Amino acid sequence: MGVATTAVAAVLACTVTPAFAATPQPSHASLVIHSETSDQHTEVRLVAAAALTPTVSGSHTVGSTLTAKPSKWTPAGYVSTYQWYRDGKAISKATKTTYKQTTADIGHQLQVRVIAKKGKASKSWTSPKVKTYGVIAGTTVPSLTGTLQVGKTLTAKAPAKLAPTPAFTYQWTRNGVAIPGATKTTYVLSAADYNAVVNVKVTAAKANYVSRAWSTTNKSKAAAGAAVTGKPTWAGNRIIGSTLTITPGVFTPAATSVAYQWYRDGKAIAGATKATYTETETDIGTVTTAKVTVARTGHATAVFALTSTAKTTGLSVFATPEIGITGEHRVGELLTASVSPIAGTPTISYQWTRDGLPVAEATTSRYTLEAADRGHVIKVTVTAAKAGYVTKSWVSGGSVDTLAGIFTGGETPNVNGVRAVGEDLYVALPEAIQPSPDELNVAWFRDGEPILTEDETPYNDSSYFQTEADIDHVITATVTAVRDGYETQTWASEGGDPTVAAEPGEGEGEGEGEGEGEGDPGDELLYFVGDEQTTPAGERIMGAELTAVIGIDWAVEGATLTYQWYRSYETLIPGADAATYTQTIDDVGYPVFVVVTANKDGYQQRSWYSDTEGTTQFDGSLEASSFHGTEQAGEVLSIWEDPEANPEGQTYRWFRDGELIDWQDGPNYVLDEDDIGHVITALVNSHLEVNRYFATTGQIIAADPVEEPGEEPGDNPGENPGDEPGDEPTEPGDNPGDGPTNPEEPTNPETPAE
């Protein structure tokens, strides 16, 4: 081991001339150096340069010759030998510097090994591998057939009789540049090919063979495509003021642009370049024609001529007709326009005017006078129109101011109830007032003098509770209807009997009583028997019908029964005087009850009141909206986005879990602790049905905690104004005029109150 080490050191320390020394190159290949020093034989291996690898030149195709080129080594005088390999196996007799590739080599890897020898020294190198490819043989070229015109189809024909048979691919070109997507044997010339040279490149390919490509040699440019086809039409009358209209129709293929030009006696009319043309006085006596120019990119332009020989004529004039208005010029009344026959049978249109200004949407021959018409002059403008005629309008004559409307259907109201101290009297209209009043006000009188409340204001509830001050006095009532545009009208009840003091009765069906029955005041009257309340049968929901069912113990044979329905405790429902009543949106949140009154000769008039349990519920049929505000105690819910807004004519009802919050009637609501965990609903009502809608919250949550303690009652913004600890809510009947003191327990004239 030590000797070898010394020998290596001696070799590295002296100049050594190896058997083969290459021209200095970077050391990468294996090199063996033999040297003799003293009696030692030392073998030193060096790495030879990569550039020593022999190279192979020549085409890598069958029939071509490959030539090996070894590197130069020193010293000169060495002998080189060669061996060619196919896929690592020696090729028989392939031992020269050149090798002609055969069909056996197609698809295989070829390389050559060069061995240099001089004396005992030898060295070998192997070239990189090269793959041999076959050659597709054949002399034919592709051809191109078809018409070189936009819209036409070109077809490529691949070369025939190629060996071996390859697969073909195609690429169409425009002016030498490949056309994206055009890779089939056929190609339809597009507008982009107009005035361009189109060819096709055909490529033949097969595995392990060199691909071969040809391009057709067309030099002609593609011509424009055929003009589009179609059939424009036109219509219209050759009369001044008439409009001529061109309908272009459908063009094949579709047009890129369509242009119009109108002509007067063959000369273009300046600016008349649309599909329509309205004839003027200048056209009278001339012939109007038109041309339609249709273009499509890459296609010839098509021009369609629309001809005529008819000359334009002037317009005829309508004779003036007689215009009249029938009907009373009073709010609520119907006016009808009349027009005498007009020669030419034109189309007649109407426009009603108020002091000369058009009334919106009043465009038929009939018009019902509105509140806004009161004190104004209403006329009608009649317009006649027909092609070939001058459109003409006429205004009706007269200058009559519109009078205020008059209510109909209101007859003498009835006052129902027992005329005795401690009893309630009710006013009921036997027939509905038309049109429905905006307000229906009740007033009560004692011997013709207005009955005043404690604050000296007229007593105007729909019911009246008789007191000792009424003894020996006749109580009557008036009903006053108010509506915008109408004369205020009042109906008064008949006198009736004086109010008597309350006294104990002597038994059913006996005793004296004053009422609305027949007979003199001093006659002894019988009483109707029956203690059961009348019962409204039906579901308490908006739109449902309620029916008054009399008690099974009533003895009312031969009696006349009248009905009056009420909303809440003091609101009489106008016109609701039948045995049945259909609940409306106005009833939502209120108890609806009925008073049934019996009348019969020889009997004291008696009324039965139904119970007021349950309120009319909303049926969900209205348009839904949403509140503005936070659904939390202490916050304000608003109907409108602007909390200050309160549009005229709107009314509001607020509900907690469906129960009416009777003190709240504005567009805003301050949530308080009573609302926590409940659902708040608001119902917005208007005279215009289209403006009715509702909004509903989710469950109200508690207010955020307040860090500062010591709040006093009333500090919470959610508390009702004016509420004091210990205040009791006012019940119906606590004050005069509240309606029936106890509707659940009807007053029986047989047992007067003590």
Greatest mean pLDDT among 264-278, 403-417, 711-725 lies in: 264-278
Greatest mean pLDDT among 334-343, 528-537, 689-698 lies in: 334-343
Q: How much is the CA Rg of the chain, to the nearest whole Å? A: 57
The mean-pLDDT minimum among 51-60, 103-112, 349-358, 429-438 falls in 429-438
Does the pLDDT value for residue 195 go beyond 80? yes
pLDDT tens digits along 249-258: 899 889 889 9
Cα 650 off chain centre by:
28
* Domains with residue ranges and CATH for the chain: 2-48 (no CATH), 53-134 (2.60.40.2700), 136-215 (2.60.40.2700), 233-306 (2.60.40.2700), 323-395 (2.60.40.2700), 427-609 (no CATH)
93 versus 666: the higher-pLDDT residue is 93
588 contacts 542 by C-beta, under 8 angstroms:
yes
pLDDT band at 534 (very low <50, low <70, confident <90, very high): confident
Does the pLDDT value for residue 420 go beyond 80? yes
Q: What is the pTM (predicted TM-score) of this model? A: 0.37
* C-alpha neighbours within 13 Å on the C-beta side of residue 89: 4
Q: What angle do CA 20, 22, 26 make, to 5 degrees?
A: 135
Q: Taking residues 608-636, what's their average pLDDT?
A: 81
Percent of the chain's residues with pLDDT above 90: 39
Q: How far apart are CA 359 and CA 350, in angstroms?
A: 11
pLDDT tens digits along 222-241: 998 888 899 999 998 888 88
Does the pLDDT value for residue 721 go beyond 70? no
Residue 45 is inside which H or E element, if any? Answer: strand 40-48
DSSP secondary structure, 280-344, as one string: -GGGBTSBEEEEEEEE-TTB--EEEEE---PBBB--B-PPP--EEEES--BTTPEEEEEE---TT
pLDDT band at 649 (very low <50, low <70, confident <90, very high): low
Average pLDDT, the chain: 79
Distances from the Cα of 737 to the Cαs of 426, 464, 551, 590, 597, in angstroms?
Answer: 10, 5, 27, 17, 19
Q: N- to C-terminal Cα distance for the chain?
A: 148
Q: What is the largest CA-CA distance in the chain?
A: 177
Task: Determine phi and psi for 140, rounding to 5 degrees.
Answer: -75, 160
Q: Which of 458, 461, 468 is nearest to 498 (CA)?
A: 468
Does the pLDDT value for residue 102 go beyond 50? yes
Task: Output the pLDDT for position 692.
Answer: 62
Q: How far apart are CA 297 and CA 291, in angstroms?
A: 20
Q: Which of 603, 425, 598 is nearest to 514 (CA)?
A: 603
Q: Which of 681, 593, 574, 589 is nearest to 637 (CA)?
A: 681
Q: Taking residues 628-642, what's their average pLDDT?
A: 84
321 versus 746: the higher-pLDDT residue is 321
pLDDT tens digits along 262-285: 999 999 999 999 999 999 989 989
Which two structure tokens, joined as six digits, stand for 101?
A: 């590739």
Task: Output the pLDDT for position 522.
Answer: 43
Task: Output the pLDDT for position 269.
Answer: 96
Greatest mean pLDDT among 107-121, 187-201, 656-670 lies in: 187-201
Does the pLDDT value for residue 664 go beyond 80? no
Q: Taking residues 172-186, what's their average pLDDT?
A: 95
Task: Output the pLDDT for position 77.
Answer: 73
The mean-pLDDT minimum among 6-15, 432-441, 594-603, 608-617 falls in 6-15
Does the pLDDT value for residue 18 go beyond 50? no
Which two structure tokens, joined as six digits, stand for 170?
A: 């195609």
Task: Output the pLDDT for position 74.
Answer: 64
Does the pLDDT value for residue 505 go beyond 70? no
Task: Output the pLDDT for position 728.
Answer: 40
pLDDT tens digits along 34-79: 333 333 333 333 333 445 678 899 999 999 999 988 877 666 777 8
- The residues, ordered by sequence, that sit 6+ positions from 167 with a Cβ below 8 Å of its Cβ are 204, 205, 206
Does the pLDDT value for residue 738 go beyond 60? no
Task: Output the pLDDT for position 398.
Answer: 86
Does the pLDDT value for residue 754 go beyond 70? no
489 versus 71: the higher-pLDDT residue is 489
Q: Which of 60, 30, 63 is nearest to 44 (CA)?
A: 30
Q: Which of 578, 507, 580, 565 is nearest to 749 (CA)?
A: 507
Q: Taking residues 538-546, what's their average pLDDT?
A: 91
pLDDT tens digits along 301-338: 999 999 999 988 887 888 999 999 999 999 999 999 99
Greatest mean pLDDT among 3-12, 31-40, 106-115, 588-597 lies in: 106-115
pLDDT band at 300 (very low <50, low <70, confident <90, very high): confident
Q: How far apart are CA 329 and CA 335, in angstroms?
A: 7
pLDDT band at 570 (very low <50, low <70, confident <90, very high): low
Task: Output the pLDDT for position 75.
Answer: 67
Residue 669 is inside which H or E element, if any? Answer: strand 668-670
17 versus 412: the higher-pLDDT residue is 412
Q: What angle do CA 646, 650, 651 make, to 5 degrees?
A: 105
Which two structure tokens, joined as six digits, stand for 98?
A: 């050149």
Does the pLDDT value for residue 27 go beyond 50? no
DSSP-assigned letter for residue 2 = H
261 contacts 293 by C-beta, under 8 angstroms:
yes
The mean-pLDDT minimum among 477-491, 575-589, 650-664 falls in 650-664
